[in-house]
Amino acid sequence: MKIFLYFIGKPRDKHANAMSEEYIKRSTRFAKCEMREIDPKRFDPWGKHPASMKILLDPAGRAKDSAAFTRLFDQPRDIVFIIGGADGLPEAWKPRADLLLGLSPMTMPHELARVVLAEQVYRALTTLKGHPYPR
């Protein structure tokens, strides 16, 4: 399984970037993980990752606790997460998503959303491997 965390918008806060990068780095012990900035005008997640599960983060998306989030990783497909920028996600993408996921009903900067998502990815992978981190 490969995990891709894509985000729209320039990363500005180096501390938030360092935190999300650290969780992605830790996650690579359990699965191939990468995080990168995308331009939605030049990036087609369905063309680039046709067989992957596409999970788009959206404030109106379905909330999941950590246990339910972990169950998303208990399948063989690659997972693509996409976090919107200041203007959110392209509207045309939302109906095509396998899941619209809400981290919180509160609005947050995409840097903070990346940290929360990257930590939850790490938590899910360690849970599946029986690692003591998620206790």
CATH code for the domain of 26? 3.40.1280.10
Q: What is the pLDDT of residue 57?
A: 95
- In the numeric block, which tokens belong to residue 119? 């930590």
What CA–CA distances, in Å, run from 31 to 62, 76, 86, 87? 25, 12, 29, 31
- In the numeric block, which tokens belong to residue 11? 């990363």
- Which amino acid is it at 24? I
Q: In sequence order, what are the residues at sequence separation of 6 or more whose Cβ sits closer than 8 angstroms to the Cβ of residue 112?
A: 16
For the chain, the domain total comes to 1
Mean pLDDT of 63-78: 95
Q: What is the pLDDT of residue 40?
A: 95
Q: Give domain status of residue 38, yes or no.
A: yes
pLDDT score of 66 more than 80:
yes
Q: What is the pLDDT of residue 41?
A: 94
Q: Give domain status of residue 92, yes or no.
A: yes
**Full-model pTM:** 0.94
pLDDT score of 106 more than 90:
no
The residue range of the domain holding 98 is 2-129
> pLDDT class for 35, splitting at 50, 70, 90?
very high
- In the numeric block, which tokens belong to residue 72? 């998303």
Q: Give domain status of residue 134, yes or no.
A: no
Q: Give domain status of residue 135, yes or no.
A: no
